[in-house]
Amino acid sequence: MIRTYEFGLSHLVADHGWTTEVGWDQADLGLPREADAVLAGWQALLKSGFPFVKRTLLTDPRFTAVRPSIQAHLKASPRH
């Protein structure tokens, strides 16, 4: 999985001359340094222009309570 999708994406990005630098860090999102920004900061990321949420937010039972908010936000977002 990692070799195919994560490394593959990294190679694609490099081949096109794009950057793999961090776009938003925990401080930018108002999160503690040890927080997983993709999981804990999903709302701030979307508001800042990050184009997607991690699938885990929609499938993992830990996020059941916030899932309706995530789904509502995604449905309200313009599609490009």
Question: pLDDT tens for residues 5-58?
Answer: 677 888 888 999 998 888 888 888 888 988 888 888 888 888 888 878 889 999
Q: Is residue 73 a contact partner of residue 46, using CB atoms and an 8 Å limit?
A: yes
Q: Which helix (H) or strand (E) holds 25?
A: none
pLDDT > 70? residue 80: no
Q: Is residue 38 a contact partner of residue 50, using CB atoms and an 8 Å limit?
A: no
Is residue 74 very low, low, confident or very high in pLDDT (cuts 50, 70, 90)?
confident
| Whole-prediction pTM | 0.60
* Rounded Cα distance, 14 and 73, in Å: 31
Q: Which helix (H) or strand (E) holds 33?
A: none
* Rounded Cα distance, 53 and 45, in Å: 8
User: What pLDDT, in 10s, does the model give residues 10-23?
Assistant: 888 899 999 888 88
